[in-house]
Chain A
């Protein structure tokens, strides 16, 4: 008989430092999934990840069509790097990708953030990156709880059943 005690996760802290479509959605899906499981959830957006919580850019995120070896044409053929560099291609591919995600009932970024906070998840912006990109609180989504330092974020990551995930 197994006597091993189960120790379910109690808190998940995610750090999103990249602004490409796939990196942001990875963070959002993991954050929303944690909230839905009843796990306390904090998400910290920093550097290019700030694009995901900046009103102007959040619903128009791109995926890289150059320097992305996993990029394929519809049908599965390799996607030529030269083609990915042509003007408008990245934009078109990204919008196609967002459409496909929408078909799977994946919400746009602004709505996804609302879903996370509706369940009690908290979303934070990194102070250093905000200063660096010269953003203001008004530029950010209303779902942001606060602009904080990484030290303050770590303080929220206490507890022995807490995991920090970096994407």
Chain B
């Protein structure tokens, strides 16, 4: 674990750059992390991010299948929003731990 300053806030991050404490997150941090992955966040991105945060707070295991059924975006759309890392990148931007699911 290390401390990193993102969007002028000191946050604890894992070796791979995932926030360790999701309560330290804010939208500016999200934008900053997204920029590193070359993603420009839109409202749709934030809908997905907020959905993931809500599910994480409820201690549910996240899968892209769930996101696809959430009514926010289908799986194809999710890949468009977060290319090459539909769950990995979205989780990183959402300030939640690295996903542990294989689906």
Contact = CB atoms under 8 A, between A and B. Distances in A.
A118 interface: yes
A116 B103 CA distance: 10
A120 interface: yes
A106 B103 contact: yes
A36 B17 CA distance: 18
Contact of A115 (B64, B84, B85, B101): B64
A85 interface: no
A118 B64 CA distance: 11
A84 interface: no
Contacts of A38: 83-85
Interface string B63-99: 1111010000011100100011111100000000000
B88 to A, nearest CB: 7
B87 A36 contact: yes
A158 B86 CA distance: 26
Interface in A75-114: 105-107, 111, 114
B102 interface: yes
Nearest to A119: B79
B95 to A, nearest CB: 20
Nearest to B101: A105
Interface string B41-71: 0000000000000000000010111101000
Given A29-B102, A29-B103, A107-B103, A115 B83 contact: no
Interface residues of A, number: 15
A69 interface: no
Contacts of A33: 102
A27 interface: no
Nearest to A106: B103
A65 interface: no
A111 B74 CA distance: 12
Contact of B76 (A29, A37, A107, A118): A118
Given A36-B86, A36-B88, A118 B103 contact: no
Given A36-B85, A105-B63, 16 more contacts: A29-B102, A32-B102, A36-B88, A37-B84, A37-B88, A105-B61, A106-B103, A107-B65, A107-B103, A115-B64, A115-B65, A115-B75, A118-B76, A119-B75, A119-B86, A120-B79
6 contacts: A32-B102, A36-B86, A37-B84, A107-B65, A118-B74, A118-B75
